[in-house]
Each structure stands twice: as structure tokens, then as C-alpha cells.
Amino acid sequence: MRWSKLMLIPLLGILFLSGMVGVSHSAPITLKLAHVVSTSAPYHIGAQELARLVDLKTKGGLKIEIYPGGQLGKGERECIEGLQIGTIDLVVTSTGPVGGFVPQMLVVDLPFLFRDNAHVDKVLDGPIGEDLLKALSKAGIKGIAFWENGFRNLTNNKRPVNKPEDVKGLKLRTMENEVHMDAFRTLGADPTPMTWGEVYTALQQGVIDGQENPINIIRTHKIYEVNKHLALTGHVYSPALLLMNEKKFNSLSPEFQKALIEAGREAAKYERKFIRDNEARMLEELKGFGMQVTYPDKKLFQKATEPTYKKYESRFGKDLIDKIVGTK
């Protein structure tokens, strides 16, 4: 039997539409992103920008679903563990818990290591930061970009803090971060690691006296309701990390990998800018909520925490520490 051209054309159209001939249409790939802070916090705002950029750069081929407030892990350590086993694809986390998986990362948590925001950006967006991100591969983690928490400050319910001696005896919540804990021990404090989701209640009930965090966290998580005193110590700059399960990252096409890294680093700049642009306003709001703010001499605290450097020089390498400090 011979087919006429008139019969063949509609048949080919039917086959094409049914997927038997021509282009196959794959569904978008959806990635789960987790963090432990509120939807008003910079992590979440950065994650929303990341999702927007990824969608734009991949023309909808890659989607990011955001799970805030500890929905996929009560603490950051749990989120990182979920990332490693593949139940979570992406995590935004502070560097503290990452030190339990890649100890080298804790070098950035040394007290008074960074002078200011310009110094931070030079180090973390340069070769030093790139090497630290690559080191995460040892733990099956793809380091995409350094985001930001900001410079950390001290709050408590006992007394104003103006000098290092005022910290002595305070029971302070810290991250599960041995460098932070050792720094506070040198000041005579009692550092108490605790999952972030438990901190507000612990402060409310007097289980701990205080905590330490950047202004944006103190404001967005309403620490002013449970702590009266805020000391602008700026004792540690706290980076954040955008991390991905390495196997999942490697399973993506080169085009999607490129788009994800580009979006992650663009979102990093967006998130950092949000924090820095809003810090002064948030500080004034904290004062308005009744927090009593002090401005300690940071040089006194820097001198008091110098023993922390001596303890960790052998682990991180004095050369690396000097290279960070000497970056202009």
C-alpha cells in the first residue's frame, strides 16, 4: 500500500505530539534547601534570591524549594548530616558546625581575625576562600559560596558588658564550635553549646544567661524579649556557607552546575548587602525595644582572647592565619 503525502503529514503530527517522534520534554529538577532560622532572617532572604536566580538561569529547568526554621533538621548539625546522606540537597549554615566535618573550616572563627567587611570580602571571595570551599569535598560536600551571618555581639540578662572582666561567670549559649567556646573560656565565661531552636526558651527560663550573635539574628529572633543587655563586642566575624550534597551536584548537567554556582555567588552578594544595609536600622530598633547597648573597647577583648590563637596555630597553620590577617 502506498501512502500519499497528504496522509503522511497529519500522521507525523500525531506521532510528534504523542512523544513517539521528536523532542522529549523532561520535568524540572527540584532541590530541597534547608536552614534553621526564621523567614525574616537574611539566610531566608538570600535563599529566595538564590531560587529566583536559579530558575532564571536554567529557564525553569532547576527549581529550589526552601524549608526554613529547622523543618528538615532542628539544628545546623542535623541539616549538614541530612545533606551528607542525601535527604537534603542544599543547606545554608554557619561555619561552626561544619568544623565537625572539615576542621580546617574553623580557622575563620578565630576571634578578631577579620578587621571589617572589606577584609572579609577580600579573603572569602579570593583564593583563600576558594581553597576552604574545595576542602569540603573531603566530607562529600560541595561548597558553593560564602554567605554571611555578620560580626557577632554579646547579649545577657545579668549586667552590662564594658570590659573582658564583665563576661566572667556568664553562662552563654554558643554554637557547637570549639574555637568560639575556647575564646569565651579565656574570658572566664561558661560557654554552653545549644541547638538554636532551644535558645529563646532557655533564655526565657534562665537556663542560660545570654548568647552571642550578629545584630540581624538578635533582631529577627526577638532576643530583646529575653535579654536586656547588648554589648557590641564584634568578637567574631561569622561567615555562612551555601553547601550542596556533592553527589547530587555531580549528577547535574554542566550547564546546571554552572548556573547553580553563579546563582549561589550572586545571591551571596545580595544576602551580605541586605545584612550590611539594615544593621544600623536593626540596632536602633533593638534600642527602641529597650535593650541597653554598650560599646566595649574591642582592643581589650582582642588582647584577652589571644591565647586562642596560640592553641590553634598548630592545627590551622600559622602561615594560613598570617595570610588571612595580612590580606589587604
How far apart (Å, rounded) are the C-alpha atoms in residues 292 and 141?
41
The reported pLDDT for the residue numbered 15 is 43
Does residue 251 come out as left (phi exceeding 0), alpha (psi in the -120 to 50 range) or beta? alpha
Q: What is the pLDDT of residues 266-305, one digit of tens each?
A: 999 999 999 999 999 999 999 999 999 999 999 999 999 9
For residue 186, being part of any structural domain is answered with yes
For residue 86, being part of any structural domain is answered with yes
What is the domain range of residue 89? Answer: 27-323
For residue 11, being part of any structural domain is answered with no
Q: Could you tell me if 152 and 214 are in contact, meaning their C-beta atoms sit under 8 angstroms apart?
A: yes
Our CA angle for 139, 175, 271, nearest 5°, is: 75
For residue 7, being part of any structural domain is answered with no
CATH number, domain at 117?
A: 3.40.190.170
C-alpha cell at 76: 545546623
For residue 17, being part of any structural domain is answered with no
For residue 138, being part of any structural domain is answered with yes
Does residue 167 come out as left (phi exceeding 0), alpha (psi in the -120 to 50 range) or beta? alpha
Residue ranges of the chain with per-residue pLDDT less than 70: 1-25
Three-class SS of 160-229: CCCCHHHHCCCEEEECCCHHHHHHHHHCCCEEEECCHHHHHHHHHCCCCCEEEECHHHHHHCCHHHCCCE
The reported pLDDT for the residue numbered 96 is 86
For residue 20, being part of any structural domain is answered with no
The reported pLDDT for the residue numbered 100 is 87
The reported pLDDT for the residue numbered 3 is 44
For residue 218, being part of any structural domain is answered with yes
Number of structural domains in the chain: 1
Q: What is the dihedral of CA 308, 311, 315, 320, to 10 degrees?
A: 50
